[in-house]
Structure 1
Amino acid sequence: MDELAALEDPKARAVNEKHGDDHGVNLGALRAIAKRLKIQQDLACDLWRTGDSAARLLALLICRPRLFGRDELDTMLRESRTPKVHDWLVNYVVKKSPHAEELRVAWLADPDPVVASAGWALTTERVGKKPDGLDLVKLLDVIEAEMKQAPDRLQWAMNHCLAQIGISHAEHRDRALAIGERLEVLKDYPTPPGCTSPYAPVWIEYMVSRQTA
């Protein structure tokens, strides 16, 4: 914790706070510490219990995802209220857990929009890699009915799922494009040069063009 405190940078904190995060440690420095520590599950659990965001990010880099129980991961997700901790927990830990599918189904229906966004992130993963058993038509129905009014983090996750359906499943592409065009979610999102817009129709068409190039 002393080492993490010494890495605190006011400029990094100011940038992170603009994105809803509450730490000032450079992520490259965190990854360097994690590389030195290697996998240490007990230390990861101790770091998580501090509640400090930088410590929790480090914990997610040095933990062993398969050792966490289903209820333990659920509790951790509900404690993860800052975007970066939430994102790393879902992508680096939950996706590698044997409990991922059970949690996906539970979180997708959760009334807490931050928790639900994790369910949508896991669903997007399945849409792209393991779609068998998913009702893509129903997912599109829900996105069409609810995405426009959804809180920001949930809306972002639903939009990613919409784009992934359009990218990965040609039979649903026209409908995915039509939903994106009608709802106009993230249409005016500021996109840096060289990056792809998160606006679903642009995102879908760009990724499909790369697949067919």
Structure 2
Amino acid sequence: MAQTTTVAGSTVAEVMAELAALEDPKARAINARHGDDHGVNLSKLRAVAKRLKAQQDLAPELWQTGDTAARLVAILIYQPQALERDELDAMLREARIPKVHDWLVNYVVKKSKHAGELRVVWFADPDPVVASAGWALTSDRVVKDPDGLDIPGLLDTIEAEMKDAPERLQWAMNTCLAQIGITHPEYRDRAIDIGERLEVLKDYPAPPNCTSPFAPIWITEMVGRQHTTEHAASH
């Protein structure tokens, strides 16, 4: 529950009251479609976090409230390097709301010194939501630091398991498939072939001006953009 002790100038109760005042029923309805149970505009939420940034002691207290908006603020003000491996593991296992899970992985875990170890632990976890975090970290490695990764093995696993995987895990596997195809030309044909045969997210309604998450389209679109950029740079 909200606390009333002052922490470096702000209290948890004050922050919770501020977030409650920013609550927008329309935003909550939109977020609910994606499984997110909060109604605070993310730009306004980021503004709250920006003001609180220096108050590190506040982050764990906001996280402990269990409130989604408060946890998103906490994620934005945590210092990733200050968190221990077991703390990050416990937080990830508590993070069942999609936005909290995504932000925790992208804004905290990826910047932590424990990311590599947690990637391996989570990747093999029987909980599909936890495993999806392992796949997200693996996608990051595929793009930024592929040395030592068994990419053919990843493709084998995706080919065997993605079609029937639970939604969050399936999405993470699909992202990894697309990133392999985009960033590793030697595996591109196989990645596109797997995507075409499994048809995962083939009919996903992509908004206007957004690339489809269907891997063959995603790969082809991004590679085409790379070639256009390279061509422009060479002239």
TM-score by length of 2: 0.90
1:156 equivalent to 2:163? Answer no
Q: Summarize the alignment of residues 9-158 of structure 1 with structure 2, pairs less than 5 Å apart.
A: 9-158=24-173
Is the CA contact (8 Å cut-off) linking 1:162 and 1:176 kept in structure 2?
yes
| Structure 1 residue aligned with 2:231 | none
State the one-letter code of the partner of 2:49.
Answer: A
| Structure 1 residue aligned with 2:184 | 169
Q: CA deviation at 1:7?
A: 1.0
* Aligned mates of 1:155, 1:41 — CA distance in 2: 35
Q: Which structure 1 residue ranges, 4+ long, deviate > 3 Å from structure 2?
A: none
Aligned residues: 213
Q: CA deviation at 1:39?
A: 3.3
* Aligned mates of 1:147, 1:156 — CA distance in 2: 8
1:2 equivalent to 2:2? Answer no
* Aligned mates of 1:188, 1:149 — CA distance in 2: 16
2:159 is paired with a residue whose SS is helix
| Structure 1 residue aligned with 2:8 | none
State the one-letter code of the partner of 1:77.
Answer: L
Larger radius of gyration: 2
* Aligned mates of 2:140, 2:110 — CA distance in 1: 8
Deviations 1:58-110 (A, max 9, x none): 00111101111001000000000000000000000000000000000000000
* Aligned mates of 2:211, 2:50 — CA distance in 1: 31
Question: Which 5+ residue runs of structure 2 have no aligned equivalent?
Answer: 1-15, 229-235
Deviations 1:144-168 (A, max 9, x none): 0000000000000000000000000
Q: Tell me the percent identity.
A: 76
Deviations 1:113-156 (A, max 9, x none): 00000000000000000000000000000000000000000000
* Aligned mates of 2:93, 2:190 — CA distance in 1: 33
* Aligned mates of 1:68, 1:98 — CA distance in 2: 9
1:200 equivalent to 2:203? Answer no
* RMSD after superposition: 0.6
Which is further off, 93-102 or 11-20?
Answer: 11-20
